[in-house]
Amino acid sequence: MKKILLISPIFESGLRVFGDDNDRRPFMTPISVATVAALTPPDIQVDVWDEGMHGVIDANTVFKTDYDLVGVTGYSTQIGRVRSICQILRSRGIPIAMGGPAVSVTPDVYVDMADYLFVGEAEQTWPLFIKEWLAGSPRRMYRQVIKPNMSEAPIPRWSAIDGEMNRYFLGAVQTSRGCPYDCEFCDVPFIFGHLSRWKPVPQVLSEIEALQKLGVESIFFVDDNFIGDLKYARSLLKELVVFNRKFPRRVTFYTQATLNVARYDDMLELFADANFGGLFIGVESPNKESLKETKKLQNVYTDIVADLKKIQSYGLSITSGIIVGFDHDTTSIFDEQFEFLQEACIPMPTIGMLCAPMGTRLRDRMLAEGRLLAGDDDPIRRPNAERFLMPTANTNIIPAGMSRIELFQGYLGLHERIRDWGNFSARMKGFVSNMKRPPQTGQSEQETTPERIIRFVDVLASMDDQSQTAVMEILQYTANTAPAAFVQVIARLVIRLRYRALVNRIRGWVGLSNRNVNWDVVGPRIKRAVSRAARRGTAASDRVERMGKFIAAIAEPETRKAFIDIIQHTKATAPYMLSRVLRLLVMQLRQREMLARVRPLIVKRIELEMTPGFQLEFAHENLTEIPASFKSWYKTVFPGVYQNVYQNLADKSRAEEALIQVFTKFLTRWQDSLDRFEEHHVTDLEATWADIVEKENTERKPSLAIVTGPADFKKTRLPDEVLRVVQNELRRGRGAAVLAGAQ
């Protein structure tokens, strides 16, 4: 039996809300590789190695068996990890297949790292590859040109993951791919297309049920835009409201959507009632000129603050994507963004600098304007290079409205202000006060309220500052020394405090003033008991350990004050929001930790760029546009070329690939002179397709499977898809290199 290992590399954290971290729970179930696993025939053994769950792979890592093939996925920002993993696998002589969003936009970057490359979605190409691989004739590159129907996406094979699924913080389910919008900085339209393609609702429900059975309590719908097709989203949400009620404990959902969701009250109600905890919304900027510049038009002609408040009034907390460094941003943008986020009461914004990823129109523009960085200064392609430092706290462009140094400084300053406890507290309290309608999930408040923590905060709130500090110090000592003794210590503290309250009441009756607990005596006494418990070495349960970590996290007076303040406010204003508020508090703690880690890296980067003689490295890629005049001619000649290529190719499954080669070659030859079309162009096009077909037929053995039949152009949008890929090949000037590598 053949054996395949699929690897999902870990995410290196940046200044974001989410991400895996070696020392924490794995973040999200690795749906990419679990989907590829499900696309593999059952007679092949497939295992998944998720670095978030199973550990970071190094030279000493021992796999449970000898694999015949390894598949690796990855985002562009993970290139450092991907490269290291490939080096280790190569040194062991294991062939490597690679797919995912990074390979899909820049296959040329990965040509040297892997043996087999998968560009685009793998629902059709992976099964084809497996057949060819088993037959001993795999190709070097598999490219999906026509976007597959989402009903072809199988239910991810979670059983391939050897580990406790309930350790994942979030489960992943994908309901749709694609987004109808066209923001200049985003590669989603390029990778997944403008048309929102979706899975049938019953399949989505089965995927949720599968994860719920595995103990997953929260699910992130990993869609580009959950409301890309409003009709579908509405019908899915209606089903979700009913479906979620059948679980004794409701699954909490999260997803990404565009701001126009604010227009549909009925949908916001459905989101709330289906038990969505929050939405990620690409807000980007309060600067309307910047929004116009980046073609985020759905955010331009609306009152963003009012929209955000309306969405949040349904109990949906918003994680907003925020970008600084657009061409229309000057240094005043940092204050504007700050005021805006405070006013809109967004608890948890993610803030990034404008970056130009591969496959985006922004990248082409930056390149044309000589503002695109390359080499070690390009965080997108070389994230682990010395000079780069951090994938998500840097940019590969030169801003227009300020210097790079000003951008770095303003960015860091904005983060500092946003993560400050006082400012966070103000946004959180505003968010909670803005609630208009409790979610109707059919679950009682008591069932969702994290009662122990709330009670603990109540007790803290009833103490004076000195007692709070003393109690926290004892608890922290316990958490560090003997977490197993936690429960007893809390019990002793509670007894002590109750006793003191009782004594004070009696003192009051007889006219005596209150007396505080003498912490100087009580503190050391409890600590001695804790040390004795530590010597016994009893291990703490997971729950108690988590409680210990929580206490340690809020030990700082400023943090504690914010916790008490926000929780008390929520209790008084919208108690049904307590569990969501607590989650946001924990996220704020994480953000502050990340900021502490990333701050010195940004400072170092600023120092580096200020060093006399420091020179940035600029990109000098070719930028070749397909002439507009060609596009109408193309529409008339395409059907004929397609027919000829399809009929004459021995291996019909190569038709799309052959068409890409024909037009790339033709355009590369004629690009400068294509302002009008003459007979010799037609003759050359014929010669080109005949050439490519002949090459295909002689160089390649006929494939074993045909994945594409004669195309219905209207339905498949084949001419557009082919031209899109050709355009990309030409723009990067990499067409020849990639095609040469695609055996």
Q: Residues 9, 49, 85, 101: which binds ligand B12 (CB under 6 A)?
A: 101
Specify the pairing of strand 116-119 against strand 141-143. parallel
* The pair of three-digit structure tokens given for residue 692, joined into one six-digit string: 């490519």
16: contact with ligand B12 by CB under 6 A:
yes
* Contacts of 527-532 spanning 24+ positions with Cβ under 8 A: 527/474, 527/477, 529/485, 529/488, 529/489, 529/492, 530/474, 530/477, 530/478, 530/481, 530/482, 530/485, 530/489, 531/481, 531/482
CA atoms in the 13 A half-sphere facing the CB of 693: 18
Residue among 673, 682, 689 at smallest CA distance from 633: 682
Using the rule CB under 6 A, is 430 a contact of ligand SF4? no
Within residues 391-410, the interface with ligand B12 by CB under 6 A covers 391-392
Q: Does 181 bind ligand SF4 (CB under 6 A)?
A: yes
The Cα 374–Cα 382 span in angstroms is 9
Q: Which stretch binds ligand SF4 (CB under 6 A): 186-194, 555-563, 606-614, 643-651?
A: 186-194
Q: Is there binding between residue 97 and ligand B12 (CB under 6 A)? A: yes
The answer to whether residue 118 forms part of the interface with ligand B12 (CB under 6 A) is: yes
Q: What is the rounded distance in angstroms from the CA atom of residue 360 to the CA atom of residue 357?
A: 6
Residue 535: strand, helix, or coil:
helix
189 binds ligand SF4 (CB under 6 A): yes
Q: Give the end-to-end CA distance of the chain in Å, rounded to a whole number.
A: 27
Stretch that binds ligand B12, among 182-190, 361-369, 523-531, 661-669 (CB under 6 A): 182-190
Q: Could you tell me which of 331, 318, 315, 252 has the C-alpha nearest to residue 284?
A: 318
Kindly state the smallest distance separating residue 224's Cβ from ligand B12, in Å: 5
For residue 233, what are its two tokens? 């989203």
Residue 350 parent element (H or E): strand 350-353
> Quick check: 36 binds ligand B12 (CB under 6 A)?
yes
Closest CA to 25 of 156, 139, 168: 168
Q: Which does 232 bind (CB under 5 to 8 A by kind): ligand SF4, ligand B12, none?
A: none
CB of 352: closest distance to ligand SF4 in angstroms? 12
In 3-state terms, what secondary structure has residue 70? Answer: strand
Q: Are residues 738 and 108 in contact, defined by beta-carbon separation less than 8 angstroms?
A: yes
String of contacts with ligand SF4 for each residue 245-264, x by CB under 6 A: -------------x------
- Under the binding rule (CB under 6 A), the answer on residue 252 touching ligand B12 is no
Nearest 5°: CA angle at 72, between 135 and 132? 10
Helix residue ranges, H only, 649-712: 655-670, 679-699
Which of 69, 86, 161, 186 contacts ligand B12 by CB under 6 A? 186
- # residues contacting ligand SF4 (CB under 6 A): 11
User: Considering the rule CB under 6 A, would residue 550 count as an interface residue with ligand B12?
Assistant: no
Q: Whole-number minimum distance, CB 637 to ligand SF4, in Å?
A: 31
What character string, x for contact with ligand SF4 (CB under 6 A) and - otherwise, covers 151-180? ----------------------------x-
Binding region for ligand B12 (CB under 6 A) out of 185-193, 416-424, 548-556, 665-673: 185-193
Question: By CB under 6 A, what part of segment 265-284 binds ligand SF4?
Answer: 282
Tokens of 243: 């479906």
78 binds ligand B12 (CB under 6 A): yes
CB of 284 to ligand SF4, least distance (A): 8
CA-based torsion, 99, 101, 103, 107: positive or negative? positive
- Single out the segment in contact with ligand B12 by CB under 6 A; choices: 183-191, 522-530, 621-629, 687-695: 183-191
Please report how close the Cβ of residue 426 comes to ligand B12 at its closest, in angstroms.
25
Helical (H) or strand (E) element with 562: helix 557-573
122 binds, among ligand SF4, ligand B12, none (CB under 5 to 8 A by kind): ligand B12
**SS3 per-residue string spanning 191-223:** HHCCCCEECCHHHHHHHHHHHHHCCCCEEEECC
| Residue 350 CB, nearest approach to ligand SF4 (Å) | 13
Span interacting with ligand SF4, options 49-57, 137-145, 184-192, 724-732, rule CB under 6 A: 184-192
DSSP assigned state of 387:
T
Contact by Cβ (8 Å): 469, 483: no
DSSP sequence for 493-513: HHHHHHHHHHHHHHHHHTTPP
> Which of ligand SF4, ligand B12, none does residue 354 bind (CB under 5 to 8 Å by kind)?
none
Nearest residue (CB) to ligand SF4, 183 versus 366: 183
Span of 54-62, 117-125, 159-167, 426-434 interacting with ligand B12 by CB under 6 A: 117-125
Q: Which does 16 bind (CB under 5 to 8 A by kind): ligand B12, ligand SF4, none?
A: ligand B12
* Residue nearest ligand B12 (C-beta atom): 99
DSSP 78: G
Our CB check for ligand B12 shows the closer of 11 and 181 to be 11
Residues 211-230 that bind ligand SF4 (CB under 6 A): 224-225
- The piece of 14-22, 583-591, 622-630, 636-644 that touches ligand B12 (CB under 6 A) is 14-22
Is residue 98 part of the contact set for ligand B12 (CB under 6 A)? yes
Among 49, 67, 126, 340, binds ligand B12 (CB under 6 A): 126
Half-sphere exposure of 509 (CA within 13 A, CB side): 5
183 binds ligand SF4 (CB under 6 A): yes
Q: What's the angle, vertex CA 297, arms to CA 402 and CA 395, rounded to 5?
A: 35
CB of 9 to ligand B12, least distance (A): 9
DSSP state of 442: S
Binder among 77, 396, 664, 703 for ligand B12 (CB under 6 A): 77
Q: Does 322 bind ligand SF4 (CB under 6 A)?
A: no
The secondary structure element, H or E, covering residue 177 is: strand 176-177
Using CB under 6 A as the binding rule, whether residue 357 contacts ligand B12 is answered as yes
> In a 3-state reduction of DSSP, which class is residue 724?
helix
Token pair 């009709």 is found at 231
Residue 181: which of ligand B12, ligand SF4, none does it interact with, CB under 5 to 8 A by kind? ligand SF4
SS3 for 187?
coil
Which one of 69, 111, 141, 188 is in contact with ligand SF4 (CB under 6 A)? 188
Q: Cα separations (Å) of 170 from 25, 521, 543, 581, 742?
A: 10, 45, 18, 17, 37
Q: Which of 2, 18, 203, 671 binds ligand B12 (CB under 6 A)?
A: 18
Q: Indicate the residue among 30 and 315 with the shorter CB distance to ligand B12.
A: 30
Q: Which residues contact 717 (CB under 8 A, 6 or more apart)?
A: 146, 147, 195
Beta bridge partners of 59: none
By the criterion CB under 6 A, which residues form the site for ligand B12? 11-12, 14, 16, 18-20, 27-28, 31-32, 35-36, 71-73, 75-78, 97-102, 104-105, 118, 121-123, 126, 172, 174, 177, 186-188, 191-192, 222, 224, 352, 357, 391-392
By the criterion CB under 6 A, which residues form the site for ligand SF4? 179, 181-183, 186, 188-189, 224-225, 258, 282
